[in-house]
Amino acid sequence: MKSKIPTYLQESEAFQPDIQGMRRSRFSFLDKTIMNSARTVKAVYLQAENATKDNFIHHIHPKVKFISLIYIAVIISLVSNLTAQLLITAFIMLLFLLAQLNIIQVYRKIFFLAFIFGFLVVLPASVNLISPGKIILNLITFNRPYNFWIYHIPQNIGFTHEGLQVVCMMFLRVLNSISFAMFIVFTTSFPAFIKSFKLIGVPDTFLMVISLAYKYIFILSRTIEETYLALKSRLTGNVKNSNLRKIISGRIFFIFKRSISSYENTYYAMVSRGYTGNVKLGLSAAFTAKDFIALVVIIVFGLGILLI
Amino acid sequence: MEEIISLKNITYSYFGKIPALKNINLSVNKGEIFSIIGHNGSGKSTLLSIINALIHPDSGEVLFKGKAITENSLRDKNFAIQLRQSMGFIFQNPDIQLFCPTVFDELMFAPLQLNIPYEAAVQRVEETLSYLSIGHLKERPPYMLSGGEKKRVAIASVLTMNPEILLVDEPLSGLDPKTQTFFIELLIELNRAGKTIIFTTHHLDLIDHLQPTVAVLSEGHTIRKTGSATEILSDEEFLISVNLIHEHIHKHGEEVHKHNHLHYVFHKH
């Protein structure tokens, strides 16, 4: 039988080094894209896995959790007592422990966010330039106070007792808000939580759009990951930046086209199953005694905190 | 037998330029298994979309139980609901078909849109989950399932409509052998239960398994031949002419030789 295979395919490929020398390949942007996409996919998986644990906290009705989230957020913003804020912190930690979540891993994320948005951002408020009061730690001393336009710079600049209280309060408020929101995210399945938005009158069609967008992020992340892995497997040596830009823009267009096609076909699938413009979503399960107890505990706790 | 679907002189092109179907005529009877076969790009999936009234032909007529399906007739909401309820479309790619947040919601979607009472819909969903052995997936998001699981959920999401006609695009696409067998047996069982099944494929062994009435689409996007499974499968020359079987190189131990490629029917040496 006569073979039609090209001759070069019947020979082993000789290694041909890069004639420009020993420069290292620079495709770190590809790795970053792949890693970020993989991280998105992993985050979705982790959230879904955490949210479906077999634990009584996880089984509490999503609507109860939704009401609690709004209620606790209001309580956190109303309370201006440091002890009460610390009690809320302890209560949320207790909830994390009861939900059997990896508290160290979760709080590492929470503290990072709270440090940036609740501490660094408000730190300037702790000095007497912004919060006048009794200085407890002097930082700079000038020869005399200065007045510039509407600003007054005192002779001594330092942390004030009142300023530090403001910073602590802000930090605890941010910490408590983030940690309670994280607690809800890690103990509730995303779809169930979205459905509870019905409580505040969000229409079914909008909820469907949120669900579709969430699914789309997941599928898009996987598509990007696959596309860039395929690209990485074929890119060797040094490629000119201009050529890389062309390749990447081509890939972006490809992903865009796939998105359009996916959107059209999903629409057809919806029409095929009876969609006529108004989505009708199912009812969620009824409240059980356990849900009412959970709701009462949260309400009583909130009222107790307000009385401190 | 009662004619349930009839296509008369259907022509369709993409963007008015790329021809997809030319002068298609076919008729499907109630309770029949009907297959549209052809190689890739011959217009099989487009034809299913036209039958399901997802797209409309440039010219020609689609009749459902004698009534024309047009954009105009679908404006009658009752007719649209009757049509959607009567036809379930199982897409080739389940990722497209599954768009709800959980498997349970997916199965509930069609009954709720078709105004089936909530309690009846829930009961139907529970029975279908059990029938297809996917009860354990009930609360899972469909996009996180494996390929075989997605396919089962896609089938279940259509079965909860209790459609009279099942349109199945490439039933065996992307499935492992075990899931393929499950799917074939399911189609036979559903047909025995009275469902009309219209499917597309280029797997001739599936034709041999299901013994449908076959319409063969050619490269020219026309129907070249319609007949029974036996008539089509026994016409080797015809199948070669429409690129459904071809000569290929085959290896037995160290011996390499050529023969016509069709493992189930024409695998002869």
The CATH code of the domain that includes B35 is 3.40.50.300
Say how many domains are in chain A. 2
Q: Which pLDDT value is given to residue A27? A: 56
Spell out which residues of chain A touch residue B103, defining contact as CB-CB under 8 Å. none
What pLDDT, on the 0 to 100 scale, is given for residue A218? Answer: 76
Q: Are A80 and A180 within one domain?
A: yes
In a domain, B266, yes or no: no
| In a shared domain, residues A218 and A240 | yes
In this prediction, residues A65-78 reach a mean pLDDT of 93
Contact yes or no for B112 and A269 at CB 8 A = no
What's the confidence (pLDDT) of residue A1?
54
Question: Is the pLDDT reported for residue B253 higher than 50?
Answer: yes
Q: Rounded to a whole number, what is the distance in Å from the CA of B230 to chain A's nearest CA? A: 32
pLDDT at B164: 93
Residue type, B157: S
The residues near A236 (Cβ < 8 Å, ≥ 6 apart) are A25
Q: Quick one: average pLDDT of A3-22?
A: 69
Q: Are B85 and B64 in contact (CB under 8 A)?
A: no
Q: What number of C-beta contacts closer than 8 Å exist between A and B? A: 95
Option in B52, B118, B157 nearest A282 (CB): B118
Is the ipTM higher than 0.85? The answer is: no
Q: How far is B248 from chain A (nearest CA, A)?
A: 12
B7 to A56, A293, A307, B63, B223: CA distances (angstroms)? 57, 61, 75, 6, 12
Q: Do residue A47 and residue A194 come from a single domain?
A: yes
Percentage of residues in chain B with pLDDT exceeding 90? 52
Query: Residue B100 and residue A265: Cβ atoms within 8 Å?
Result: no
User: Is B112 in Cβ contact with A282 (below 8 Å)?
Assistant: yes
**Same-domain pairing of A250 and A135:** no
Q: Do B87 and A191 touch (CB under 8 A)?
A: no
Residues A80 and A167 in one domain: yes
Among B80, B96, B108, select the one facing A282 at the smallest CB separation: B108
Pairwise CB contact (< 8 Å): A280 & B113: yes
**Domain residues for B243?**
3-260
> What residues have CB less than 8 Å from A247, skipping those under 6 apart?
A231, A235, A239
Alpha-carbon gap: B31 to the closest alpha carbon of chain A (Å): 21
Residues of chain B neighbouring A270 (CB-CB closer than 8 A): 99, 109
Using a 10 angstrom Cβ sphere, with 0-12 exposed, 13-18 middle and 19 or more buried, the burial of residue B14 is exposed
Is there a single domain that holds both residue A88 and residue A156?
Answer: yes
- In B, which residues are within 8 Å of A265 by CB distance? 91, 93, 96
pLDDT band at A20 (very low <50, low <70, confident <90, very high): low
Q: What is the pLDDT of residue B269?
A: 46
User: Confidence class of residue B265 from pLDDT cuts 50, 70 and 90?
Assistant: very low
Cβ atoms A51, B102 nearer than 8 A: no
The C-alpha of B231 sits at a distance from chain A's nearest C-alpha, in angstroms, of 33
Burial of A249 (0-12, 13-18, 19+ CB in 10 A): exposed
Question: What does pLDDT average to over chain A?
Answer: 82
Are residues A68 and A117 part of one domain?
Answer: yes
Q: Which two tokens stand for residue B113?
A: 């849109």
- How much of chain B is in helix, strand and coil states, percent to nearest 5? 40, 30, 35
- Rounded Cα–Cα distance for residues B91 and B95 (Å): 9
CB–CB contact B96 A271 (8 Å)? no
Where a domain ends, among A162, A188, A214? A188
Mean pLDDT for chain B?
88
Least confident span in A42-51, A66-75, B73-82, B180-189: A42-51
* Model pLDDT for residues A219-256, shown as the tens digit of each residue: 777 777 777 777 777 766 666 777 777 777 777 787 78
Q: Answer yes or no: are the C-beta atoms of A156 and A132 closer than 8 Å.
A: no
Q: Are residues A182 and A220 in the same domain?
A: no
Quick check: is B268 in a domain? Answer: no
Q: What are the tokens at B228? A: 């029974």
How many structural domains are present in chain B?
A: 1
Min Cα separation B45/chain A (Å): 12
| Model pLDDT for residues B15-72, shown as the tens digit of each residue | 878 889 999 999 999 999 999 998 888 899 999 999 999 999 999 999 999 999 998 8
A181 lies in a domain? Answer: yes
Residues above pLDDT 70, as percent of chain B = 94
By residue range, what is the domain housing residue A154? Answer: 60-188
Q: Please tell me the predicted confidence (pLDDT) of residue A262.
A: 80
Predicted confidence (pLDDT) per residue in A44-54, tens digit: 777 777 777 77
Residues A81-122: tens digit of each pLDDT = 999 999 999 999 999 999 888 889 889 989 999 999 999 988
What is the reported pLDDT for B267?
46
**Local structure of residue B242 (DSSP, 8 states):** T
Asked if residue B266 has pLDDT above 50, the reply is: no
Burial class of residue B7 (count of CB atoms within 10 Å of its CB; 0-12, 13-18, 19+):
buried
Same domain, A46 and A32: yes
pLDDT digits (tens, 9 = 90+) for A133-162: 888 888 888 888 888 888 888 888 888 988
Q: Is A271 in contact with B54 (CB distance < 8 Å)? A: yes
In which band, very low, low, confident or very high, does the pLDDT at A270 lie, cut at 50, 70 and 90? confident
Location of structure tokens 């279908």: B128
Indicate if A36 and A148 belong to the same structural domain. no
State residue A24's pLDDT score. Answer: 55
pLDDT at B102 over 90: no
